Chains A and B, each alone.
Chain A
């Protein structure tokens, strides 16, 4: 596609439920990033994938958070047993290798009730 696509754009869930957020990066981009943005805050790094290398998971806030990237393309961020403090916009970005010009998707607004 022309840009980074994220789905769903909005997700409302109940506390304790699991959610999956999807990211389709720009074709050919080998690097993929997930960020979280709470209301009125900056972007908080979650995880980084680069090609076939082991991902950098250092930003994941707890073991309830996990992400995978299948076939070096689509990525899924999974949050298990969601909590109210998980409510935020989850942003995905991709880039060409280690070049830092990131292309962001429009994000998924997650609301945990």
Chain B
């Protein structure tokens, strides 16, 4: 599976949009981009995934660049409860996730 690169930490003010970037420049054509988050002392939670089209659900939006080499997870109105570590991983639909990197630690401040 392709490797991903994420900034180690980010801050966001409550109520503002949080935009979390992920670089996956070696992604293959059959690989999906998945996002998970891990709130302290809990197991990771699925957020969203996509192949090449932008995706939106009740939790977030996923913007994938046309060349698919990077993506951005958008939390439109961040709340304090969104403080967590966010992981971006790339997996083929016939494969399975190996290691998750250290992700981005998002701190939402009042």
Do A and B pair up? The answer is: yes
Q: Among A40, A45, A101, point to the contact of B98 (Cβ < 8 A).
A: A45
Interface of B, secondary structure class, is: loop
Interface size of A as a range:
20 to 34
Tell whether A61 is near chain B: CB-to-CB under 8 Å.
Answer: no
Q: Kindly identify which residue among A31, A48, A98, A102 contacts B44, using a CB–CB cutoff of 8 Å.
A: A102
**If the complex has contacts A42-B87, A44-B99, A45-B99, are A101 and B43 also in contact, measured as CB distance less than 8 A?**
no
- 10 example contacts (A-B, Cβ-Cβ < 8 A) are as follows A42-B100, A42-B101, A42-B102, A56-B96, A93-B43, A98-B96, A100-B32, A100-B91, A102-B36, A106-B42
* Interface flags, A54-96, vs B, CB<8A=1, else 0: 0010010000000000000000000000000000000101000
Known A-B contacts A4-B43, A42-B87; A100 and B34 likewise in contact (beta carbons under 8 Å): yes
Cβ contacts under 8 Å, A33 to chain B: 96-97
Q: Is the CB of B94 within 8 A of A98?
A: yes
Which chain A residues lie closer than 8 Å to B103 at the CB level?
42
CB neighbours (8 Å) of B49 from chain A are 100-101
Q: How far is the CA of A107 from the CA of B42 in the complex (A)?
A: 7
